[in-house]
Structure 1
Amino acid sequence: MIVTNDLEVRVGARTLLQAPGHHLRVQPGDRIGLVGRNGAGKTTTMRILAGETQPYGGSVSSSGDIGYLPQDSREGDIEISARDRVLSARGLDRIRSSMDRQQEIMETATEPNRRDAAIRKYSRLEERYHQLGGYEANAEAAQICENLGLPARILDQPLKTLSGGQRRRVELAQILFAASGGMGKSQTTLLLDEPTNHLDADSIVWLRGFLEKHDGGLVVISHDVSLLKAVCNKVWFLDAVRGEADVYNMNFERYQQARATDEARRRRERANAEKKASALKQQAERLGAKATKAKAAKQMAARAERMMSSLDEVRQADRVAHISFPEPAPCGKTPLNAKGLMKMYGSLEVFAGVDLAIDRGSRVVVLGFNGAGKTTLLKLLAGVERSDGEGGIVTGHGLRIGYFAQEHDTLDPEATVWENAVNACPDAGEQDLRGVLGAFMLSGEQLEQHAGTLSGGEKTRLALACLVSSQANVLLLDEPTNNLDPISREQVLDAIRTYTGAVVLVTHDPGAVKALEPERVIVLPDGTEDLWSEDYLELVELA
């Protein structure tokens, strides 16, 4: 259970949310959709509820276990296996590790006393492991992982060998494993920030079913409207205009209808009040011309002001980011050529022998199952990582690369928004750069905000803004529509449609592929190159 008391949320000098009293409360059985436009404070509020950061004002009290999935998942020790990371949710990984150590001593010890001590300790550990349902839990954890698109073959791999999407699935699996309690019943409060990122269609369907059956509390941030409709029985709407949270004790569909009705009511009331206030002011101006009527005129003017100030604030139309990609600099016929690219993690081969020629203005989509190396391939093309083996990148005449990283790796979280933009575009003039950031809805005091404190959608907009002044003629885009609200997503899709340079795209979003209208497809890990056809579209969601 989580209860807020006089909660006030700020970022810098901006007040994002004021929730007086115990306005926001999460109880067992509550399945709450936390919604609002990008930058309204959803992710910041979720961090506060999880105890990851303190509110500007007020307090948050909680009882019971909390499972928190942030947008940028914490990886912990990346040397441990994916299986042990999931099992750590119930402390089973430590017991398993101790059992393995005692097993090794039992097999190698030459001294009888040391071997006997190891046998006794192993027996105690095994009994404890059994009491905690360890053997059944191992199978349960593996089943959760499989349902989230993590096949059994990767569970014993170290986390450092997994892709960003796979690591995030492991983090989600760990949280759900802890919340399942072995029987699918738990009072754990789940706080999930964009849990469907990197999930394929089948995994999203399974996750919906899991969350619908969850007995504990749930707060979820998601731009997946179908998930919110299927799961939520309450909605918290963070209104960026008023800096308040509206609580709707209803499902998501009824909330949408109620909010539309509420906004229509406010607009009608304001229109009527403005008409009456205007009439009063006109009458006050006429009376004010006569000295004997001056007092009455002032009273009428004051009444008009009170009439307007007593109204609820009307939501203005949300600002929309004007997202566009750069005008590409001139370049040769083939600005980027990759030959024999290979990537290994220890003895594990991710892919090998990948050839890819990026001609001027070409449009390529990279497909493959999660973990096939799609993100890694873009990192190699961007020069962020080096190819193993003899292969490498051949740079053509005039090449300028613009790289959008899935996990916003191109941003410095400790630097401000403005510092990140200057570092990305050192040749851009100050006014031009401020204009670009403003078009992406980043301006004013927000320019002095550290990038690490931005919401996922704001980070996406900042990373895209940093591309605009680059004059890139080859864009490498890794999941560019993640974390965006529907309006911003459409802006990105329009930018992809109209960009005249070359694009290499990695995405789970079929809409992004349709906007790209790709000519070619690269399927990993085999590196097979083919002409694009609509038959590949199904693989986009499943990848």
Structure 2
Amino acid sequence: MITATDLEVRAGVRTLLSAPGPALRVQAGDRIGLVGRNGAGKTTTLRILAGEGEPYAGSVTRTGDIGYLPQDPKEGDLDLLAKDRVLSARGLDTLLHDMEKQQALMAEVADEDRLDKAVRRYGELEERFASLGGYVAESEAARICNSLGLPDRVLAQPLRTLSGGQRRRVELARILFAASDGSGGRSATTLLLDEPTNHLDADSITWLRGFLQSHEGGLIVISHDVELLNDVVNRVWFLDAVRGEPDVYNMNWKKYLDARSTDEQRRRRERANAEKKAGALRAQAAKMGAKATKAVAAQNMAKRADKLMANLDEERVSDRVAHIRFPEPAPCGKTPLMASNLTKMYGSLEIFAGVDLAIDRGSRVVVLGLNGAGKTTLLRILAGTEKSDSGQIEPGHGLRIGYFAQEHDTLDDMASVWENVRHAAPDTPEQELRSLLGAFMFTGPQLEQPAGTLSGGEKTRLALAGLVSSAANVLLLDEPTNNLDPISREQVLEALRSYKGAVVLVTHDPGAAEALSPERVILLPDGNEDHWSQDYLDLITLA
């Protein structure tokens, strides 16, 4: 399991978390919801608990296996088949390939000694394969993949041909396959999952909730899916961004919400009482301070008032929210963006073919298709970050594209928050950029924080800040509401409602499509175009 002792977590010079003693501990059967506003340090803390980062101070001890799903999984061998990536969780991929080699060798060799050696080697591999669950385990992996929306045709493809959402689901399947091993060696696996429902459809989310409910090891989950938290967690760690401390609640989600509300009311009462007492002390000190004979007593009263206030938590104010407003679009022609006969292949695999589109000034378009149909790829081609295999992009008069990538590809992880926005808007006055970043909740030391250390929600806000500074008249938005807390998500949706330029949107969020009020839909991989209707809303979560 996991125990963090005297843990201190920082991002640059900012202290995100200070947890004295063994305050954070995960044991078998603990299903912990790690919650707090965007930027409170949830993702950074989870990364450190998983061993993928180092704390500023303190230590983390781990026993048993750890299954860690980050928001942005690291790119591995992209030539590996998706099926083999899942099976590699138990080493089955290598065994199966070695068994296939020995089978081929047994069929080819005529020499009895070599044949006998190949037969013995095959027997050894098969015995090892059986000890790891064998073909039953392979079937189990297929069942998990299918439950997460990864059919056989996807599992047979190299990772490089899959969308970002599909690759993330492959990683989730790999982690759950490892944790579900019935041999006894992995029953104590601790799962650390950062937004595991991203890119999952409704049926897959329902299945995942059931899997996590029955998981026998430890679990820490970061999620904005309230239903998942309500159904799964039996403990809650709240990271308080105001105090920089964790509040541990040994109870389920519903009871936590009540207890949290009670705690906030108590803190407000304590502060009000302390402020009243401190105010009286300071008023009395001011009166007495005018007399030389009572100056020492006045100073002592003032010190008591200061001490009284110093022992209180910082005053809780309503969590700040980003004030997101997409840019006033620059003037452009009637049809600023056109494309004809776009085709994309990965090797012999055709992603889509013959896609034509015309994006008129101020038009609103949703791109729909099953996962892997090429939605993200199409937006990358329109944005100019990827080339099509045939067809062409035809920019119209005055075209200015603003591109939001779901994997935050437009951000430089090594550069600071300030450097990223300065690069996006090199001609904008410095004070104007600082005001813009302040509206997106980036101030003070955060401006010097490397973008790679930000949480998923913070990266989303930073990427959107770059868009706002661009005066784009065509926005290409790929999952712009991912990783956002409910308040920040509503800010993005409100920005979509009020934006006057053209939008091409890819989303699994029905609320985002409704906020856009689209006129048209483009269906991939065929590239067919249709008028938007409410019937398409039901397809959003499946796409």
Report the TM-score when normalising by structure 1: 0.97
Q: 1:183 to 1:486 in 2, by over 3 A?
A: farther
- Residue 300 of structure 1: CA displacement? 2.4
Instruction: Give the whole-Å Cα distance in 2 for the aligned partners of 1:128 and 1:183.
Output: 13
Instruction: Give the whole-Å Cα distance in 1 for the aligned partners of 2:160 and 2:107.
Output: 30
- AA in 2 matched with 1:39: G
Q: Corresponding residue for 1:375?
A: 376
Say which SS state the counterpart of residue 483 (structure 2) adopts. coil
Say which SS state the counterpart of residue 58 (structure 1) adopts. strand
Instruction: Give the whole-Å Cα distance in 2 for the aligned partners of 1:541 and 1:491.
Output: 21
Instruction: Give the whole-Å Cα distance in 2 for the aligned partners of 1:443 and 1:103.
Output: 63
- Deviation per CA, 1:276-299, whole angstroms, max 9, x where unpaired? 221222122122222333233223
Instruction: Give the whole-Å Cα distance in 1 for the aligned partners of 2:317 and 2:493.
Output: 24
Q: Corresponding residue for 1:35?
A: 35
Q: How does 1:232-247 map to 2 (within 5 A)?
A: 232-247=233-248
Q: Corresponding residue for 2:287?
A: 286
Contact 2:69–2:175, Cα closer than 8 Å, also in 1: yes
Stretches of structure 1 that go unaligned for 5 or more consecutive residues are none
Q: Corresponding residue for 1:83?
A: 83
Contact 2:132–2:183, Cα closer than 8 Å, also in 1: no
Say which SS state the counterpart of residue 387 (structure 2) adopts. coil
Structure 2 residue 460 is matched with structure 1 residue 460: yes
Instruction: Give the whole-Å Cα distance in 1 for the aligned partners of 2:334 and 2:38.
Output: 39
**Deviates further, 112-121 or 29-38:** 112-121
Say which SS state the counterpart of residue 542 (structure 1) adopts. coil
Q: Corresponding residue for 2:155?
A: 155
Contact 1:140–1:182, Cα closer than 8 Å, also in 2: no
Contact 1:406–1:480, Cα closer than 8 Å, also in 2: yes
Q: Corresponding residue for 1:328?
A: 329
Q: Corresponding residue for 1:210?
A: 211
Contact 1:368–1:525, Cα closer than 8 Å, also in 2: yes
- Deviation per CA, 1:20-72, whole angstroms, max 9, x where unpaired? 11010000000000111111111110011001111110100010000000011
Q: Corresponding residue for 1:399?
A: 399
- Residue 77 of structure 1: CA displacement? 1.1
- Deviation per CA, 1:141-168, whole angstroms, max 9, x where unpaired? 0000000000111111111111111000
Q: 1:118 to 1:448 in 2, by over 3 A?
A: same
- AA in 2 matched with 1:89: A
Say which SS state the counterpart of residue 330 (structure 2) adopts. coil
Q: Corresponding residue for 1:362?
A: 363
Q: Corresponding residue for 2:253?
A: 252
Contact 2:335–2:396, Cα closer than 8 Å, also in 1: yes
Q: Corresponding residue for 1:146?
A: 146
Say which SS state the counterpart of residue 357 (structure 1) adopts. strand
Q: How does 1:521-540 map to 2 (within 5 A)?
A: 521-540=521-540
Number of residue-to-residue matches in the alignment: 542
- Deviation per CA, 1:193-212, whole angstroms, max 9, x where unpaired? 01011011110000000000
Structure 2 residue 122 is matched with structure 1 residue 122: yes
Q: How does 1:284-433 map to 2 (within 5 A)?
A: 284-389=285-390, 391-433=391-433
Instruction: Give the whole-Å Cα distance in 2 for the aligned partners of 1:371 and 1:248.
Output: 40
Q: Corresponding residue for 1:176?
A: 176
Instruction: Give the whole-Å Cα distance in 1 for the aligned partners of 2:110 and 2:537.
Output: 61
**Deviates further, 150-159 or 122-131:** 122-131
Structure 2 residue 449 is matched with structure 1 residue 449: yes
Instruction: Give the whole-Å Cα distance in 1 for the aligned partners of 2:4 and 2:527.
Output: 52
Instruction: Give the whole-Å Cα distance in 2 for the aligned partners of 1:116 and 1:183.
Output: 31
- AA in 1 matched with 2:85: R
- Deviation per CA, 1:509-530, whole angstroms, max 9, x where unpaired? 1110111000001111121211
Instruction: Give the whole-Å Cα distance in 2 for the aligned partners of 1:251 and 1:166.
Output: 31
- Deviation per CA, 1:454-510, whole angstroms, max 9, x where unpaired? 110111011111111111100000000001111111111111111100000000111
Contact 1:75–1:167, Cα closer than 8 Å, also in 2: no
Instruction: Give the whole-Å Cα distance in 2 for the aligned partners of 1:467 and 1:110.
Output: 67
Q: Corresponding residue for 1:54?
A: 54
Structure 2 residue 191 is matched with structure 1 residue 190: yes
State the identity as a percent: 73
Q: 1:3 to 1:520 in 2, by over 3 A?
A: same
Contact 2:69–2:196, Cα closer than 8 Å, also in 1: yes
Contact 1:29–1:216, Cα closer than 8 Å, also in 2: yes
- AA in 2 matched with 1:213: S
Instruction: Give the whole-Å Cα distance in 2 for the aligned partners of 1:337 and 1:93.
Output: 45
**Deviates further, 316-325 or 360-369:** 316-325
- Residue 112 of structure 1: CA displacement? 4.6
- AA in 1 matched with 2:528: T
- AA in 2 matched with 1:235: V
- Residue 106 of structure 1: CA displacement? 2.6
Q: Corresponding residue for 1:264?
A: 265
Say which SS state the counterpart of residue 470 (structure 2) adopts. coil
- Residue 430 of structure 1: CA displacement? 1.5
Contact 1:35–1:238, Cα closer than 8 Å, also in 2: yes
Contact 1:477–1:505, Cα closer than 8 Å, also in 2: yes
- Residue 306 of structure 1: CA displacement? 2.4
- Residue 183 of structure 1: CA displacement? 7.5
Q: Corresponding residue for 1:72?
A: 72
Q: Corresponding residue for 1:104?
A: 104
Q: Corresponding residue for 1:17?
A: 17
Instruction: Give the whole-Å Cα distance in 1 for the aligned partners of 2:344 and 2:183.
Output: 41
Instruction: Give the whole-Å Cα distance in 1 for the aligned partners of 2:481 and 2:306.
Output: 44
Stretches of structure 2 that go unaligned for 5 or more consecutive residues are none
Say which SS state the counterpart of residue 409 (structure 1) adopts. coil
- Residue 111 of structure 1: CA displacement? 4.5
Report the TM-score when normalising by structure 2: 0.97
